[in-house]
Amino acid sequence: MLQSGERILVLGGGNMGCALIGGWLDAGLAPEALLVVDPNRGEALGKLIERYGFRHETETPADFAPTVALLAVKPQMMGDALPPLKAALSPETLIVSIAAGTTVAALSKHLSEADGHERPIVRAMPNTPSLIGRGITGAYPNGQVSEERRAVADTLLAASGPVEWVDSEALIDSVTSVSGSGPAYVFHLAECMAKAGEAMGLPADLAMRLARHTVAGAGELMIRSDETPAKLRQNVTSPNGTTQAGLEVLMDDFTGLPPLVERTVRAARDRAVALSKD
């Protein structure tokens, strides 16, 4: 998975951090090459420690020299969490951040060396399906990240699903609005389908099972198929059939899903931009 000699410090042992940690260890990362720093030992972290026996500290120790530091704490905690970490880093330590709304400039402000030299930083945005190894991550490297270190970041982030690299940090906000926030849109679609089914007379529990499995199954079909989503939609739609009747409502240019989804994604993107400036 990684070259021997890589030493990974994970700042934050929450669900997303643990999802990545579990993927690394399952892929063969040596437990002694890993240190997790978190004031708390949550259930997910505790289970991983019991299974693999890697090191956990409540504060950043001075005796662990990481080649990679994964920042997996909440954005509002960065101001307190990063200064103690800085002393443990070498100039070559690769910083990988999965904190939403925290820019490379903000990270550099806390972590740059005394002479102002920037560290290699990758800003990444995974999504919640990463918790089951079915996520997708958008990533952006600053100018100090070499091709070799970018490959290391790619390997680490790919533990939870595919990694897509963007050329502009601003595009991370767009990634956030599509795939980062996207699972919530899909979950709400399932909610709406279930409520509509219930309104049509289905028992509530049956309507929800139908909606959940339909959304999950359709998503899996898109992943496994070589066809575009548009073609898959056409395959389901018989002329003058029930699906066409529903799609005529859903695909209306003014009142249907296309303009609604565009407004939804744009609102999420604009909020991501605002958070990055806070």
Tell me the per-residue pLDDT of 214-262, one tens digit each, with 9 for 90 and over.
999 999 999 999 999 999 999 999 999 999 999 999 999 999 999 999 9
* Mean pLDDT of all residues in 257-269: 97
- Contact indicator for 176, 140 with CB cutoff of 8 Å: no
Q: What is the DSSP letter of 141?
A: E
Q: Which of 170, 180, 165 lies closest to 104 in space, CA to CA?
A: 170
Q: What is the DSSP letter of 131?
A: G
Question: Is a pLDDT exceeding 80 seen at residue 67?
Answer: yes
Query: Structure tokens of 15?
Result: 């669900």
Q: Which of 102, 120, 107, 99 lies closest to 14 in space, CA to CA?
A: 99
Largest CA distance in the chain: 70
pLDDT score, position 19: 93
Tell me the per-residue pLDDT of 7-26, one tens digit each, with 9 for 90 and over.
999 999 999 999 999 999 99
Question: Which of 63-67, 74-78, 111-115 comes out lowest in average pLDDT?
Answer: 111-115
User: Rounded to the nearest 5 degrees, what angle is found at the Cα of 152, between the Cα atoms of 148 and 155?
Assistant: 135
Q: How confident is the model at residue 50 (pLDDT cuts 50, 70, 90)?
A: very high
- Cα gap 174→171, rounded to integer Å: 5
pTM of the model: 0.92
- Counting Cα atoms < 13 Å in the Cβ hemisphere of 174 gives 10
pLDDT score, position 207: 98
Q: Are strands 163-165 and 68-71 parallel, antiparallel or unpaired?
A: unpaired
DSSP string covering 171-213, please? HHHHHIIIIISHHHHHHHHHHHHHHHHHHTT--HHHHHHHHHH
Name residues whose C-beta falls within 8 Å of residue 15's C-beta, 6 or more positions apart in sequence.
44, 131
Helices and strands counted in the chain (H then E): 11, 8
How far CA 124 is from CA of 15, 79, 102, 141, in Å, comes to 16, 19, 10, 9
Count Cβ atoms below 10 Å from residue 246 Cβ, excluding itself.
12
pLDDT score, position 128: 94
Using DSSP's 3-state secondary structure scheme, residue 90 falls into: coil
- Contact indicator for 62, 87 with CB cutoff of 8 Å: yes
Instruction: Match 């999802």 to its residue by tokens.
Output: 19
